[in-house]
Amino acid sequence: MSSILSNVLLAPEDPVLSVIFACRDDPCPIKLNLSAGAYRNEEGKPLVLEVVRRAEQQLANDMSCDKGYLPIDGLADFNKLGAKLILGDDSHALKENRVVTFQCLSGTGSLRVGAEFLAKHHQQSVIYVPNPTWGNHPSIFTLAGLSVEYFRYYDPQTRGLDFEGMLEDLGAAPSGAIVVLQACAHNPTGTDPTLEQWEQIRQIVRSKGLLPFFDNAYQGFASGSLDSDAQSVRMFVADGGECLIAQSFAKNMGLYGERIGALTIVCTSEDVARKVHGQLLLVVRPMYLTPPIHGASIVTTILKNSDMYKDWTIELKGMADRIISMRQQLYEAIQARGTPGDWSHIIKQIGMFSFTGLNEKQVRWMAKEYHIYMTYDGRISMAGLSSKTVPQLADAIHAAITCIP
């Protein structure tokens, strides 16, 4: 029988997936996967938060819970509490009922729903993303029908923020263009603007009439404080202007597989918010109809209960502090080996990832010789390290730097 699908072309190699698959197929017992953006404990195992287990047990014992469809916009209490978490208890936008929140499929789904909405209803189809940015951003926005452009963000010479280049590029963007800003713990560089720099970014975004779209994947996971990590977003919301926020609970609650997140759109009035809500319903309904209930129920249970909320913040800070500790241990191990170069960027960067400065040739060599896997741009997941594996990585970095140009 002839194949109807015979004309399907072989998919191009995905640079991140190829690393993950190579590590998966490596039989070496000491292989180390630092490519995936998922938290691991000191034993290298996925962590289920104790407060999440308690919430699930409470839900399992509640005979009033059912498995019926949620509304198209998701679980109402989840939306309310999720928006409050990112915008703050005293948000004027929330009090004035000009905020629209839709439960979505984690951060990726929130970005896609927001992009589809903007492609249909925003007058400007150009969207600016940082260079570099999360590898999935360009595909999400392109497939939604937006035209992706880049603004300068990272300076490989200083291994820090190219702030002047960023302001220059944003200042040259056309009025109405969409600008993707990562709220904290920038992926892949781990480099964030200071609060003073965020204020300058806000001023140029507003003066140019640009539309900010925040990717908020790591709230509480960068500094250990939910409020501190939300400051950039709240700065923009406080000025009364519009913005979009894609929110994820994958990292900060460890709910990776539950695919739980939200899209929040802050509008200028309650009337505009009502119209936006109606149009978002038309975006979501043919896409996936309604979101899943379990993850939203877990998050809602934790956010509604003051004791659980407090326990969550303690566990969350524990994860953030462990990552900060891994940065310090890696920096000290590299220093102890006398590895050439300045490695202070490892402790200056923040969040799950570190942009090491290793080149692709060195990265591939480390995978072959030391069975350590990272993305080809030299990004490592600090959350995948442990006190046991820091020496292994430091040895490999030292060898790569001294042997491979």
- Token output for 223: 């500094």
What gap in Å lies between CA 109 and CA 269, rounded to an integer? 25
Determine which one of 215, 229, 312, 377 is catalytic.
215
Place of tokens 């919430």: 55
> How many CB atoms are closer than 10 A to CB 89?
8
Within 10 angstroms of residue 115's Cβ, the number of other Cβ atoms is: 27
**Residue 312 annotated to the active site:** no
* Dist CA 274 CA 272 (whole Å): 5
* 323, amino acid identity: I
In whole angstroms, give the CA distance from residue 172 to residue 165: 11
Q: Which of the following is catalytic: 251, 312, 343, 377?
A: 251
Please give the distance of CA 349 from its chain centroid, rounded to a whole number. 15
Nearest alpha carbon to residue 33 among 399, 382, 395: 382
Residue 215 catalytic? yes
The question of whether 251 is a catalytic residue gets the answer yes
Rg of the chain over CA atoms, in angstroms? Answer: 22
**Distance in angstroms (rounded) separating the CA atoms of residues 208 and 126:** 14
61 Rama class: left (phi>0) / alpha (psi -120 to 50) / beta: alpha
The one catalytic residue in 73, 134, 365, 377 is: 134
In one-letter notation, the amino acid at residue 219 is Q
Q: Is the dihedral of CA 173, 178, 184, 190 positive or negative?
A: negative
CB atoms within 10 A of CB 364: 16
Could you give the residue numbers annotated as active site? 134, 215, 251
